[in-house]
Amino acid sequence: MSRYARQIALAEVGEEGQRRIAGAHVLVVGAGGLGSPVIEYLAGAGVKRMILVDPDHVEESNLHRQTLYRMSDIGRSKVSAARDHIAAANPAVSVETWFGAVHPGNADGLVAGADVVVDAADSFAVSYILSDACMRTPRPLISGSALGFTGYVGGFCGGAPSLRAVFPDLPSSGATCASSGVMGPVVGMIGALQAQMVLQILLGIAPSPLGRLTRCDMTALRFGGFVFDGAPEPRVSLPFVSRADLLPDDQVVELRSMEDAPDAVSAEALRTRPEEVTDIGVVSGRRVVLCCATGLRAWRAAERLRQVGHDDLALLAMSASG
């Protein structure tokens, strides 16, 4: 009996649908808590080509929620360990790996070859970088996030509004799974929903996941969501750039402390705190590039500069800097 017999038996799939799945190319950015179920379910469904992108290694603290890995994987790169586990589970699936981070310099190239892009990176900067690249390409983007007992997954770009249209501002805090914790089953549910949305796009099942967002709150055991297919794009967007994109005339502002970053992103960078960025003599007429670790402080500092009339601004997140 065919490996995919139970799937092919569905009226929405059939032999033709299975051929669509088998012919698909999916880019998965992030091979952690969200990426694990995405990768497993897409490989199980028969997606024959996946590119996995992740800059991290497997740690023991990952194992409570990153079900793709075992104790024997500790210390290995996640993309290599994921590739080997998928090869053992379904050798017909071709898994290509990219050990490194997505950044503005490589995002367009990675996105361009994919039928669907999955954002499972757990990074504000990477989510916006991928959304921007998917709008330019254009490619559909399935983006998810999970923290604590809650999470969401949505379908963006590819003819639908971008992530920026739904989330024009970053959250007020930079809480992460590492800093605030997360329940493993919540991550699993969000990742599984991402995989389901990818398959529905590949199969052309209506209604499309694009332009829709689903939320879950497991403290209340409740699901919700909304349709955003008519959401307008923001009038002004703060672009992310790579270090390689810095220009000689840029005014670079380093927002990381001396303790966090003894060497600033450039020798000429001004160093300050986000709340004091309007006091350091930023010159009008020059592009201001604001640098921090994740992009969150840079975003807040940029908002302060915009309020006093600076419009030529860019963000440099060192976690996704190239």
Instruction: Point out the residues that are catalytic.
Output: 177
- Angstrom distance (rounded) from CA 35 to CA 69: 11
104 upstream amide cis, omega within 30 of 0: no
Half-sphere exposure of 160 (CA within 13 A, CB side): 23
Helices H / strands E in the chain, number of each? 10, 12
Sorted by sequence, the CB contacts under 8 Å of residue 277 that are 6+ apart come out as 253, 255, 290, 301, 304, 305
Judge whether 315 and 299 are in contact, CB under 8 Å. yes
The kind and range of the H/E element at 104 are: none
**In DSSP terms, which residues pair with 157 in a beta bridge?**
140
What is the per-residue burial (b if ≥16 Cβ within 10 Å, else e) of 166-197?
bbbebeeeeeebeeeebbeebbbbbbbbbbbb
The kind and range of the H/E element at 23 are: none
Name the one residue in this structure whose structure tokens are 């469904």.
45
Going along 81-211, which residue ranges are E strands?
94-99, 116-119, 140-147, 150-157
Q: Other C-beta atoms within 10 Å of 160: how many?
A: 25
- Angstrom distance (rounded) from CA 245 to CA 160: 28
- Angstrom distance (rounded) from CA 230 to CA 165: 9
- Angstrom distance (rounded) from CA 197 to CA 128: 19
